[in-house]
Amino acid sequence: MTLAELLPSIGCSTEPVLEEGLWPDGTRLDGSDLVIGGVPASRLAAQFGTPCQVLDETTVRTRAREFLKALPEAEVVFAGKSLPCPEVYRWMAAEGLSLDVSSAGELALARAADFPAARIVMHGNVKTGEDLKAALAYGVSRIVVDSFDEIAQLGALARHGQQVVVRVTPGVDAHTHAAIATGVEDQKFGFSLASGAALEAVLRVVEQPSLRLVGLHCHIGSQVRHVAAYEETVRRMVGLIAGCGVRIEQLDLGGGFCAPYLPGESSFDLAGFAHRVRVALNYECAVHRVPVPRVLVEPGRSVVANAGVTLYRVCAVKRGTTRTFVAVDGGMSDNPRPALYGAKYAVRLVGRGGRMAPVTVVGRHCEAGDVLASDVVLPADVHAGDLLAVPATGAYHHALASNYNQVGRPPVVAVHDGTARLVVRRETEEDLLRRYV
Ligand SMILES: Cc1ncc(COP(=O)(O)O)c(C=O)c1O
Ligand SMILES: N[C@@H](CCCC[NH3+])C(=O)O
C-alpha cells in the first residue's frame, strides 16, 4: 500500500480541507490558519499560550438544542462530569437543560453557576456523607441511589420526601471499551436487574419514610454507537417497572451517545435513537399495561466533544529508528484518554502545509505511554515551534486532566463570534505549590 492510500486511514487528510464532523461548527481554514469560533488559532495560541483547550460556545449550544428538539417530551440532563465548568453549566441552564453532578465538588461548580436545584440530578456509585449533605442542603431535585448502604444513609439524612431514583444495571452490552461499559453485569455500578437486587432496592426506598421514589435510572456505557442497545435497555427497564408494582414516573436512560474522533466516523444517530426509543417505550408500556414514564437522557460527550480543540506547540522532533516522534508541550496530563482507552485522535499542523509524512505525536511526561496520536500525518518538515491542533477534545479532557510531573493544567478558552475569553485559567506553579505544607 502506498502512503497516499494509507493516509486517510491513519488520522488526517493531505488535502487542505477540514475533516467533516470533527471540528467545531463553522471552523474554517484561512490560508493555512485555522479559524475556530471566528478566532484564528494562531492568535489564540499567542494570547493564551499552549497547551490551550479551545471551546466553541455555538457548537455546545447547538448540540444541546439538537437533543431538546429530537426529544421534546424528555428531560435532557447534561452530564456535568464531561466538562466541569460553571460557564458551560450556565449555557446549559440557559438552553433549558438539566444537569447531572457526581460529587459535592461538581455540585459546587453548579452552585457557582446558580444552576437551579430543581433541575439537578446527583449520581455516583459512592457518595460520601459530605456529597449527600451537600446535595440535600442545595435541594437537588433527585438523588440516584446506587447501593443498599446509600439508601439507608440517605434515608437517615433526608427530610421532607427527598426524591430518589434507583440505578439499575440492565445487563445490556453496549459494545464499547470495557473501562466505560457500565450496563453489563459484574461491575461496580447499579443494582443488578437479573439478580433481583434492583427490585429489592426499589422496595427498600419505598420503605424509607423520608424518601420518595420517582424513577429508575440506567447508563449502559459511553461512546455507544448502536441504538439497538438502548432499545433493548428500554425493554428490560419497562419489564422491571411492570414487575415492581410501584408507580414509576421517570425513566432515565443515561447518556453514552458517541462522538466522532477520527475522519470518517459518524455522529450519534440521534433522530434514530429518539424514534426507536419512543416506539419501544410505548409498545412495552402498552404490553405491560403501565403508564409511560417521562424519559430522561444524560448526554455529555455528544454535546461537548466536537466543540473542543486543543492547541499544542511542538517542542522537539526526534527521528527514531522506525518512527518520527513529534513532542509537544502537553500530553497525558491534559489528555490521558489514549493511555486509558486506546483513544485515537486526528492532528493538524496550523500555519503550513506541504508534503506529508507519518509521525507519532507524544507528550512531555515521564512515561513511554504518553502518546497523544500515533501514526498521524503532518508536513514532513514539522519542527520545533510549529502549532498543532487536535479536534474532538471537548469532553473528558479538562475533566480528566492531572498535574503529573507538576505540570499546570491548561486553560479553557471559550470562543464565540470572533471573540475569545478565558473560562478556566491556566494552573500556575503557585497554584500547585499552595497545596504543599
Ligand atoms: C450516570 C451517567 N450519566 C451520563 C454520563 C454521560 O456519558 P456520555 O458523556 O458518554 O454521554 C455518564 C458517563 O458515562 C454517566 O456515568
Ligand atoms: N472518561 C471516559 C468517559 C467516562 C464516562 C463517565 N461515566 C472517556 O473519556 O471516554
User: What three-state secondary structure class fits 300?
Assistant: coil
Least confident of 15-29, 69-83, 92-106, 261-275: 15-29
User: What three-state secondary structure class fits 50?
Assistant: coil
Q: Is the ipTM of this complex over 0.90?
A: yes
Establish whether residue 192 lines the binding site of ligand 2, counting it when its CB lies within 6 angstroms of any ligand atom: no
The model's pTM is 0.95
pLDDT tens readout for residues 333-370? 999 999 999 999 999 999 988 899 999 999 999 999 99
pLDDT band for 4, please (50, 70, 90 cuts).
very low
2's CB contacts (< 8 A; 6+ apart) are: none
Inform me whether the pLDDT recorded for 2 exceeds 90: no
* Binding site feature residues: 256, 298-301, 337, 341, 367, 396
Phi-psi region of 309 (alpha: psi -120 to 50; beta: other; left: phi over 0): beta
Q: How many CA atoms lie within 13 A of 328 on its CB side?
A: 31
Taking alpha carbons only, the member of 53, 65, 54, 59 closest to residue 94 is 65
Strand partners, 417: none
pLDDT given at position 7: 52
Distance 96 CA to ligand 2 centre (A): 24
Tell me the best of 77, 78, 81 to mutate to test the pocket of ligand 2, counting ligand atoms within 8 Å of each CB and taking the most: 81
Distance 387 CA to ligand 1 centre (A): 32
Q: How far apart are CA 415 and CA 37, in angstroms?
A: 5
Long-range contacts of 134-137 (CB under 8 A, 24+ apart): 134/104, 134/107, 134/108, 135/104, 135/107, 136/162
As a residue count, the chain comes to 437
Q: Which CATH class is domain 3-56+305-433?
A: mainly beta
Residue boundaries of the structural domains of the chain:
3-56+305-433, 57-303
Active-site amino acid positions: 366
In terms of Cβ atoms closer than 10 Å to its own Cβ (0-12, 13-18, 19+), residue 100 is buried
* CB neighbours of residue 164 within 10 Å: 25
Tell me the best of 224, 396, 397, 402 to mutate to test the pocket of ligand 2, counting ligand atoms within 8 Å of each CB and taking the most: 396
* Smallest CA separation from ligand 1 atom 14, residue: 222
Establish whether residue 180 lines the binding site of ligand 2, counting it when its CB lies within 6 angstroms of any ligand atom: yes
Establish whether residue 80 lines the binding site of ligand 1, counting it when its CB lies within 6 angstroms of any ligand atom: no
pLDDT tens readout for residues 42-93? 999 999 999 999 999 999 999 999 999 999 999 999 999 999 999 999 999 9
Topology of the domain covering 57-303: TIM Barrel (3.20.20)
Kindly state the percentage of the chain with pLDDT values over 90. 90
- Assess contact for 173 and 183: CB atoms under 8 A: yes
* Binding site feature residues for substrate: 301, 337, 341, 367, 396
